[in-house]
Chains A and B, each alone.
Chain A
Amino acid sequence: MSRGVEVDTADPPPGSSRRALLAAAPAALAASALAVAGCGADARPRGHRLAPAAAQQELAALNRLRSIELLAVEVYTAAIPRLSRRFYWTARQLLADEVAHAAELYGLIHHRGGTPTAAAARYDLGIPRTPRQALELFSTLEHLQVSSYLRAIPQMPSGRVRAVLGAILASDAQHQAVVRQGLGEAALSGPYVTG
């Protein structure tokens, strides 16, 4: 997916080139995947096993969520070098979180005997031309993620998986609020986060 982001001439922070971020992201993903048991949750399955069909359904859903997280890593990596200083460090933090989410999902899938997808999801999210458009792209992306987790959680048969997905959902909801604030919008949209 091509994401041309207009260069913001205001002082790009050091080490912020897209190449540097692209080089760092997969390494961080790999490192996080190895340390997966230590971040969001222990991915060990509970005492009972799921029926094969339910297990397959769960794996497919987890892989769909992982592909969206990988898309998020791709989008943030591409757009961050174009941001102004004002939102740069926040976006770096959001990228680090997305990397952690993708790695956590890798661990969940792997521990359940599945093959974690390496492919980012494909959505037509538009091409940002300005820093503001980059933030709007982040907002759309976080909305997509939040909606996906809200849909997935009630359908997950494993309580442990639901709890982990809840922790990631709430993290992406935090991103949504922070990005909205960056856009000058109200950070909170109501008592319920509905995606």
Chain B
Amino acid sequence: MATSRRGLLARAAALGAATLGAGAEAALWAPAGARARTRVRTPSEGQVLGRLVEVEQLLLFSYQAALRSGVLSVASRAPVAQIAGYEREHVRALGARLAAMALPVPPPPADARAAAASLAVHHAHVDFERHRDDRGWLGLLLDVELLVQRNYHVALGYLQDPTLLALCAQIYASEGQHSALLGLRLHPGKPKLAIDPFVNGN
């Protein structure tokens, strides 16, 4: 990452702290530059779904980059590959809902530079080209998982359709499990660092 993981987490926490205020919820869906200046309208369900597809694609890209890096340990590779498969399914399912609404499905990031630029819009500054070891990749994946969780947390507040809510709740819970698994790999024997009483991306 261009900035340290600690810095990214601090910024995410600062953003997350504001996530639950009504105004801040709307602001999270606004382009970064617009947040401070304008009042943002409540997004439509299509916009919410589109945003979820976008962040899921970034998450999938991150898992694929970790797998491609060739530095993951044998013990890390299996769960990372398994979770990557699950993220692919999330993208497919959410994309199918968008398509059913006759809305365009956001394309996946074309390359590492595009993925980094999209993550920067979400206040996550990642350099995929930087050399990382096993722990470095797991840390990056955990950070992007937190970003995705924050988006689901906000999305549940906006969505109205019960079927969409049910789907997003199931995926949200799944992302929670992913971060717990990554956390336990990063901090074996320290559950306090891997599980949260409130999984909202903070």
Complex contact B198–A193 (CB within 8 A) = no
B22 contacts the other chain (CB 8 A): yes
Complex contact A163–B169 (CB within 8 A) = no
Find chain B residues with CB under 8 A from A178 CB: 180, 184, 191, 194-195
B20 contacts the other chain (CB 8 A): yes
Complex contact A170–B175 (CB within 8 A) = yes
Given A97-B197, A153-B165, A163-B157, A193:B180 Cβ within 8 A: no
Complex contact B83–A188 (CB within 8 A) = yes
Complex contact B174–A191 (CB within 8 A) = yes
Chain B 56-96 near chain A by CB (<8 Å), digits 1 or 0: 00000000000000000000000100110111011001000
Complex contact B181–A170 (CB within 8 A) = no
Find chain A residues with CB under 8 A from B47 CB: none
Find chain B residues with CB under 8 A from A190 CB: 86, 174
Find chain A residues with CB under 8 A from B165 CB: 153-154, 162
Chain B 153-185 near chain A by CB (<8 Å), digits 1 or 0: 110111100110111011111111111110010
Chain A 62-96 near chain B by CB (<8 Å), digits 1 or 0: 00000000000000000000000000011001101
A104 contacts the other chain (CB 8 A): yes
Complex contact A41–B82 (CB within 8 A) = no
Which single member of B85, B157, B179 contacts A174 (CB below 8 Å)?
Answer: B179
Residue of B nearest to A151 (CB): B166
Complex contact A192–B174 (CB within 8 A) = yes
Interface residues of A in 105-161 (CB under 8 A from B): 146, 149-150, 153-155, 159-160
Nearest Cβ distance between residue A87 and chain B, in whole angstroms? 9
Complex contact B198–A41 (CB within 8 A) = yes
Nearest Cβ distance between residue B63 and chain A, in whole angstroms? 13
Find chain A residues with CB under 8 A from B159 CB: 162
A-B contact count (CB 8 A): 152
Complex contact A171–B170 (CB within 8 A) = no
Q: Bound complex: CA of A101 vs CA of B198, how far in Å?
A: 8
Complex contact B174–A193 (CB within 8 A) = yes
Complex contact B198–A40 (CB within 8 A) = yes
Query: Which bracket fits the contact residues of A?
Result: 35 or more
Interface size on B, residues (CB 8 A): 50
Tell me what chain A mostly uses at the interface: helix, strand, loop, or mixed.
Answer: helix
Residue of B nearest to A174 (CB): B180
Complex contact A176–B177 (CB within 8 A) = yes
A173 contacts the other chain (CB 8 A): yes
Find chain A residues with CB under 8 A from B180 CB: 174, 177-178, 187
Given A41-B20, A160-B157, A167-B153, A93:B172 Cβ within 8 A: no
- A sample of 23 inter-chain contacts (CB < 8 A) reads A89-B191, A94-B191, A94-B195, A101-B197, A104-B198, A153-B166, A154-B162, A162-B165, A163-B153, A167-B200, A169-B176, A170-B176, A171-B199, A172-B173, A174-B199, A175-B195, A178-B194, A187-B79, A187-B177, A190-B86, A191-B87, A192-B171, A193-B176
Extra A-B contacts (15), CB below 8 Å, given A150-B169, A168-B197, A174-B195: A41-B200, A150-B166, A162-B157, A162-B165, A163-B154, A166-B156, A167-B153, A170-B199, A171-B197, A174-B180, A174-B196, A177-B177, A187-B180, A188-B178, A191-B89
